[in-house]
Amino acid sequence: MNPETRGTLSRNRDRVSTIVGTLAEYGLARWLPSFLPAKGTHTRDDVKDLPMEVRLRMALSDLGPVFVKLGQMLSTRGDLVGPEAARELSQLRTDVPADDPDVVVAAVEAELGMTIADAYAEFDATAMASGSIGQAHNARLRDGTSVIVKVLHDGIEDLVEQDTEILEALAQLAEDHNKDARELNVLDLTRSFNLGLRRELDFGVERANMTHFGDRYNDAGSAYFPMAYPDRSGRRVLTMEYLEGPTLDESDRVAEVADVDELVECMADTYIDMILDDGVFHGDPHPGNMVAMPDGRLGFLDSGLVGKVDDQMKYDMVDLVVAARRRDARRVSILFLRLGSAPASLDREAYEKDVDRWMDEFLDASLEELDMGRLVEASMELARKHHITLSNDVSLLGKVLAELEGTIEDVGSDLQFDELLEARSSKLIELQFSPQRIVSEMQHHAEDWADLIDALPRDTLALLRQMTAGTLTVGARIVGLDAVTNRVVYGLMIAALFLGSSFLLAFDVPPLVGDLSLLGLIGWIIGLGLFVSVMRAIRRRGGL
């Protein structure tokens, strides 16, 4: 045990004992070293026959807010814990008692640097809701605007600091004593979780997310994100606009104030825009976080958790969809690996066979029969079986897609999420053939050329040494195939150009000239010019 880990465990001995003892009570401490302190070491009789996934959920719930947050994060990582555990952990909820009103008032005044009376015309110090990190209060600004004020729980920062420090030490011990923990990079995953949790303690992060989404969507369509009030907010306090209307988990009330199908289409359009255009997506789309506003707009609450999709990830996902539709199992297997990291010991043949079976299960289903939740679960199980670690954003995106389908079912809409995706497939085609992607691919290949140039002197030196030592082997080359090869290459390029341009024209990819895609027209013109030049070259050299 390294000195830093030993110091952490010693400094927090009582809390470590509670954590290890609780895990032991639920039969979950076998992987922990026996020298750790524990209050109780035997599995309780009333839980020993329960499934491991249930015992894990119960133990994390008993250990408090930080471990509940850990469980909620793991519920998005079916590639690590398996689909059964992910489903069970998704049920975790924290029932944290609200702070006393006097404590809340003192916290708000200290954070804002003004009295409650100066900050708000009205402020209800009794919380309307309480979560693991903070609690929410109804209030009214001095201009009469109704707002919600979120306040961090008293003492939560010290608790998070202590528990995250212990989690990192336990992760280090796990890697020191367990091969599977090392292969899963448990320590890196724990550090990533700890960083994310500490960010949740800063309401400035959520305020920035709300502002970003509001600037992007509030004036563009029927989606709406509440406005934040920076002069009434800080790291521990967030004052945000109150959105009137029922949340989508109140399905009876929703149907009274809005057209459910229109709300569902707005939700699908917004998430497709977030993922494919914006690259930043709202990470918690359960029905309680969406509001059917009286004016017909769909309001989005709780922007504390977001995922990010960089350009390469977007392109890989689009290519994955296209390859799956073409039933190209080999291409799908390659692209899936690019969304994560695979061990050096990966059995490629077994992995590709499993990808083929995965495609057989889901691609033969009609849109009405396709279960997005099951598709995501199967993908995570495929990753877990072959020890492929997906990135946090990829895992979160999979969970979001499954939750969107569940939300659509909960509100009673007859629309299918997959049908909505299919109807908007032109956006996928647009992204696949976009100028931005072409530039990105050129940059990517430029990096490959740079690597080649960097390696060229070393390879040349190795070649000269082989020549000097008399060990150089030279292969035979058939002369006269250059012209044929060139014609084949040009032919393939022209065919690809015509095919891509046809897609652009068929899906009306902007910019448009009349009803035709300008990029598609340009592609056709260039392709036609290349075709004519190749035919002339063939004639000059004696025909086909």
Radius of gyration of the chain measured on its C-alpha atoms? 29
> Which runs of E-coded beta strand occur in 216-375?
223-224, 237-241, 280-282, 290-292, 298-300, 306-308, 340-341
Pairing, β 134-140 against β 122-123: antiparallel
- The yes-or-no verdict on residue 228 having pLDDT over 70 is yes
Helices (H), 201-297: 203-217, 251-257, 260-273
Residue found by looking up tokens 């895609």 in the block: 517
Check: CB of residue 508 under 8 Å from CB of residue 517: yes
- The yes-or-no verdict on residue 458 having pLDDT over 50 is yes
Pairing, β 129-130 against β 134-140: antiparallel
- How far is 107 from 116, CA to CA, in rounded Å? 10
Burial 457-481 (b: 16+ CB within 10 A, else e): eeeeeeeeeeeeeeeeeeeeeeeee
In angstroms, what CA-CA distances link 530 with 7, 497, 498, 519, 526? 71, 10, 11, 16, 6
Q: Average the pLDDT over each of 84-98, 292-306, 346-360 and give the range with the smallest value.
A: 84-98
Q: Name every residue whose Cβ is closer than 8 Å to that of residue 186 and which is 6 or more positions away in sequence.
A: 171, 174, 175
- How far is 14 from 144, CA to CA, in rounded Å? 49
Q: Name every residue whose Cβ is closer than 8 Å to that of residue 395 and which is 6 or more positions away in sequence.
A: 76, 77, 78, 79, 380
pLDDT at 403: 82
Length of the chain: 544
Q: 254-295, pLDDT tens digit by residue?
A: 888 888 888 988 888 898 888 888 889 998 888 888 999 998
Q: 186-226, pLDDT tens digit by residue?
A: 888 888 888 888 888 999 999 999 999 999 999 877 899 99
Check: CB of residue 372 under 8 Å from CB of residue 409: no
Mean pLDDT of 350-354: 89
User: Rounded mean pLDDT of the chain?
Assistant: 80
pLDDT at 108: 96
Which long-range contacts (C-beta less than 8 Å, at least 24 apart) are formed by 2-9? 2/172, 4/169, 5/169, 5/172, 5/173, 8/165, 8/166, 8/168, 8/169, 9/36, 9/166, 9/169
Q: 310-347, pLDDT tens digit by residue?
A: 878 877 777 777 777 677 778 888 888 888 888 878 88
- The yes-or-no verdict on residue 479 having pLDDT over 50 is no
- How far is 455 from 449, CA to CA, in rounded Å? 10
- In the chain, the percentage of residues whose pLDDT exceeds 90 is 22
Mean pLDDT of 408-415: 78
Q: Are residues 259 and 229 in the same domain?
A: no
pLDDT at 245: 92
- How far is 476 from 403, CA to CA, in rounded Å? 59
pLDDT at 393: 86
> Pick the residue with more confidence: 433 or 372?
372
Phi and psi at 308, nearest 5°, equal -125, 145
- How far is 282 from 543, CA to CA, in rounded Å? 60
pLDDT at 483: 60
Q: Average the pLDDT over each of 91-100, 377-386, 410-419 and give the range with the smallest value.
A: 410-419
Q: Which amino acid is at 129?
A: A
Q: Are residues 194 and 73 in the same domain?
A: yes
Q: Are residues 14 and 106 in the same domain?
A: no
* Domain boundary, last residue among 412, 432, 452: 432
Helix (H, G, I), strand (E, B), or coil: what is residue 145?
A: coil
- The yes-or-no verdict on residue 116 having pLDDT over 90 is yes
Q: Are residues 101 and 89 in the same domain?
A: no
Phi and psi at 298, nearest 5°, equal -105, 115
End-to-end alpha carbon distance in the chain: 74
Mean pLDDT of 527-544: 71
Q: 1-43, pLDDT tens digit by residue?
A: 678 888 888 888 889 888 888 888 888 877 666 666 665 557 7
Which of 420, 408, 406, 392 is CA-nearest to residue 272? Answer: 420
Residue found by looking up tokens 């050129």 in the block: 442
Helix (H, G, I), strand (E, B), or coil: what is residue 294?
A: coil
| Residue 486 banded pLDDT, cuts 50, 70, 90 | low
Q: Are residues 469 and 345 in the same domain?
A: no
Angle at 76 between CA 72 and CA 80, to 5 degrees: 105
Token pair recorded at residue 456: 């060229």
* Domain boundary, last residue among 186, 220, 242: 242
- How far is 218 from 418, CA to CA, in rounded Å? 25
pLDDT at 367: 46
Residue 40, domain extent? 3-94+158-199
- How far is 227 from 333, CA to CA, in rounded Å? 43
Mean pLDDT of 394-404: 83
- How far is 293 from 266, CA to CA, in rounded Å? 13
pLDDT at 481: 47
Helix (H, G, I), strand (E, B), or coil: what is residue 529?
A: helix
Q: Are residues 266 and 413 in the same domain?
A: yes
- The yes-or-no verdict on residue 478 having pLDDT over 50 is no
Q: 38-86, pLDDT tens digit by residue?
A: 655 577 778 888 988 999 999 999 898 889 888 888 887 877 778 788 8
Q: Are residues 415 and 319 in the same domain?
A: yes
Q: Are residues 33 and 22 in the same domain?
A: yes
Phi and psi at 239, nearest 5°, equal -105, 125
Q: Are residues 316 and 441 in the same domain?
A: no
Give the 3-state secondary structure of 72-109: HHHCCCHHHHCHHHHHHHCCCCCCCCCCCHHHHHHHHH
Q: Are residues 369 and 424 in the same domain?
A: yes
Mean pLDDT of 128-142: 92
Q: Are residues 7 and 137 in the same domain?
A: no
What total of structural domains would you count in the chain?
5
* Domain boundary, last residue among 414, 444, 473: 473
Check: CB of residue 172 under 8 Å from CB of residue 186: no
Q: Are residues 186 and 38 in the same domain?
A: yes
